[in-house]
Amino acid sequence: MSDLRKEALEYHHLNNKPGKISVTPTKPLDTQRDLGLAYTPGVAEPVLEIEKDPATAYLYTSKGNLVAVVSNGTAILGLGDRGPLASKPVMEGKGVLFKKFADIDVFDIEVNSHDVEEIIKVVAAIAPTFGGINLEDIKAPECFEIERRLEDMLDIPVFHDDQHGTAIISGAGLLNALELVGKDIGKIKIVISGAGASAISCAKMAVLLGAKRENITLVDSRGVVYEGRTEGMNKYKQEFAGKTNARDLKDACKGADVFYGLSVADVLKPEMVKTMAKDPLIFAMANPNPEIPYDVAKAARPDAIVATGRSDTPNQINNVLGFPFIFRGALDVRATHINDEMKVAAAHALADLTKEDVPDSVLRAYGIESLKFGRDYIIPKPFDPRVLLWEAPAVAEAAMHSGVARVKVDIEEYRQALALRQGKGQQVRQYFMNKAKLLPKKMRIVFPEGEETKVIRAAAQVEEEGIGQPILLGRPDLIAEEIKELGLRYKPEIIDLRRFDRLEDYIAAYYEQRQRRGGTLANAQKHLRDRNVFGAMMVKMGDADAMVSGLTFEYPEVIRPALQIHHTAKGVKRASGVYIMIVDDRVYLFTDATVNIEPTAEDLAEIAILAADFAKQLGLEPRVAMLSFSNFGGTPHPLSDKVRRAVDLLHQRAPKMVVDGEMQADTAVVREIVEKRYPFSKVQEANVLVFPSLEAANVSYKLLNRLGNAQTIGPIILGLGAPIQVMQTGDEVRDIVNMAAVAALDAADRKPGGNHKKPVRKAKPVAKVGVKNGRAKRKVR
């Protein structure tokens, strides 16, 4: 047994649990009351509502997020007709991809029939259950008839992915590859090897994108599909029967600009490739083995742009870039069909996304250092999380414009709602960024590590997204070279410390501030060469509104000059740090894990007030737990007494704050413990956890992050005298962008009148888009 075969079979029986999908309840079912609501007698109420108004099925059932994946197993991948039961692993796999990439639920339906009429009858009969129908692995030409008839009969989207998925993804690649080689789609000659469902659909998509029908040549197992041919023809091939003297693939390839392979392995020979036009595009998409191996094609034509269906070569044409997101957009506007306009919109969205900076998470997933638009990257990678945010909105918008949408959505709000499907961490990040985008005046954010690749990429996003106006500290020539290497369309504001015309003013101001703290003029001149000192002074001198640093520095190297220059905020004795922790879609604030090593009772009270105020900024109602190893005086000790004194101070200083302690960590977060043992506690299910020492907080957040799969955002510095935030070594670009948004909001809040309090359009707090009583709930749209 081969390693792949063994591993695949073990995977499908992993943990003694056969298959890849299951049904998971979305509502509580823990009490008799729950049972009465989920089933009889309560279930009668939505039944009656749906009878009166069928559209309410989208409100009271899973119909709006449920797709049927239907097959009869007559064209399973490259395995041919293996029957409906044997197709089930593929259909379950399709369901997994729907769920993973677009949060769409799936029932796989395997139909035991080769009869077109019977298949149509079965699918039409079960259609009321679903929001959409995905036809899969049904052979041509039957698949054309089944899809067409069902589209006419049903008022929900019907989509044969084998046809249209490949066409859309390859279409995106075609647009970008032609841009790279400088060719006009209206003038290119295309040869397509294959004349089945996907081949015909690819030909049609090329026409929709601008290719001329007369410039497309189909070649099937009998040769070129030409005008007047009768053998092996059908009405679908006939549509592309051309006037040509070419009779085989070798003839057809001469002078061709594009080769589409949707046939069998090794049919395209190197000598054929050599006869193609300059800078040929070779999309060899047969699976698992392409019409010509990638390396063979490149050896024959080094000037070629080559794509395959394989994941181990550049430019993979993978249908998972299409169907999950196309259905997501269609379902969310309750489209009646997936029409040509929606397919073209999907192709353009993918093509456009390819030209954007690639996230670190994608680079990490594929084990590569960098990736940019070019000959080896003409379509996005399947694990790029931004595909959902680009493609689904494009599809939804096209559905609305073309008149097949039954629900209208605001595209920007819809994009935000899609981000929520990517998890609570993305939701919180989106909240900061959206709020920063709404600022009427963009804050100037200085990045002392302006020569770092990640910082440059983040700064480009900060500017492009409208989060702020980045300022990079560094050498202009090195930064320009890095921008060119990254392929970014970005012209940053750069300050070169060696040539800064206000340097003497900065030195004088710094010396004046530090002269009675042991500082000399010589020391001032020396310290201003430190980019963290210089960045902090830019904020002090009004040349920047905020600063973000720390990617390549130790934490104290950033926080120390910030405190020396700006001290703490008015009325605050000690700054502190807070981490946003997302655990199973619950949001917690952990403090202080970064600044105060051994806080006193007074310090802990101040730390709690700062964290509670920050929670309110997020839209959370703070429930503050003061943590210790003791519960409410149960273990008298100087350490637990310290925490108890902090609670007393908080009751005096912030009488309206919901706070209690001292208490153990499990008491703080488990409602049942409080209800059974400490019913007098003012706090249940705390969401702000104040740790007794930096040691305890730091250990806890790191263990939870590594062992508990918690998502971490931070640290966010609270109580500083200026809007300065500290990154962590190893932060990704998205983390830097998020920290810039936090710094921008902080800066705006310090302006007279609080700049961000008058947004053009109100940003929704985290609590309003999914958090209630510490528990995450998906907002119903």
Catalytic residue numbers read 39, 94
> Contact, 219 vs 203, CB < 8 A?
no
How far does Cα 572 stand from its chain's mean position? 38
Q: Which residues pair with 586 in a beta bridge?
A: 583
Q: Residue 326 burial (CB < 10 Å; 0-12/13-18/19+)? A: buried
Residues 6+ apart with CB under 8 A from 372: 357, 358, 486, 487
Q: Is 260 left (phi over 0), alpha (psi -120 to 50) or beta?
A: beta
248: three-class secondary structure by DSSP: coil
Token pair of 770 as six digits = 């999914």
| Token representation of residue 667 | 């008491």
- Omega cis (within 30) before 288: yes
- Between CA 323 and CA 330 the distance in angstroms is 10
Rounded distance, CA 210 to CA 761, Å? 39
Q: How far apart are CA 418 and CA 302, in angstroms?
A: 41
The candidate with the shortest Cα–Cα distance to 116, out of 140, 98, 82, 89, is 140
- Give pairs for 398-401: CB < 8 Å, separation 24+: 398/339, 398/341, 398/342, 398/344, 398/345, 399/329, 399/330, 399/333, 399/335, 399/339, 399/341, 399/342, 400/333, 401/341
Cα Rg, the chain, nearest whole Å = 30
Contact indicator for 261, 292 with CB cutoff of 8 Å: yes
Structure tokens at 691: 């740790």
Report how far residue 108's alpha carbon sits from residue 99's, in angstroms, rounded to the nearest whole number: 13
Query: Which residues lie below 8 Å from residue 239, measured CB to CB, with a gap of 6+?
Result: 200
Q: Are 396 and 332 in contact (CB under 8 A)?
A: yes
Per DSSP, what are the bridge partners of residue 160?
Answer: 135
d(CA 291, CA 284): 5
DSSP per-residue codes, 104-171: -EEEEEE-----HHHHHHHHHHHGGG-SEEEE-S--TTHHHHHHHHHHHH-SS-EEEHHHHHHHHHHH
Tell the burial category of 716 from Cβ atoms under 10 Å away from its Cβ (0-12, 13-18, 19+): buried
CA distance 459 to 465: 10
| CA–CA dist 261, 285 (Å, integer) | 5
In one-letter notation, the amino acid at residue 608 is: A
**What span, in angstroms and rounded, lies between the C-alpha atoms of 368 and 311?**
14
Looking at residue 242, the DSSP 8-state letter turns out to be B
d(CA 156, CA 63): 11
Location of structure tokens 């742009």: 305
Q: Up-side HSE of residue 682: CA atoms within 13 Å toward CB?
A: 16
Report the candidate in 515, 508, 510 with the shortest Cα–Cα distance to residue 536.
510
Cis bond upstream, residue 49 (ω within 30):
no
Q: Which residue has the tokens 């600009």?
A: 257
How many other CB atoms are found less than 10 A from the CB of residue 210?
Answer: 15
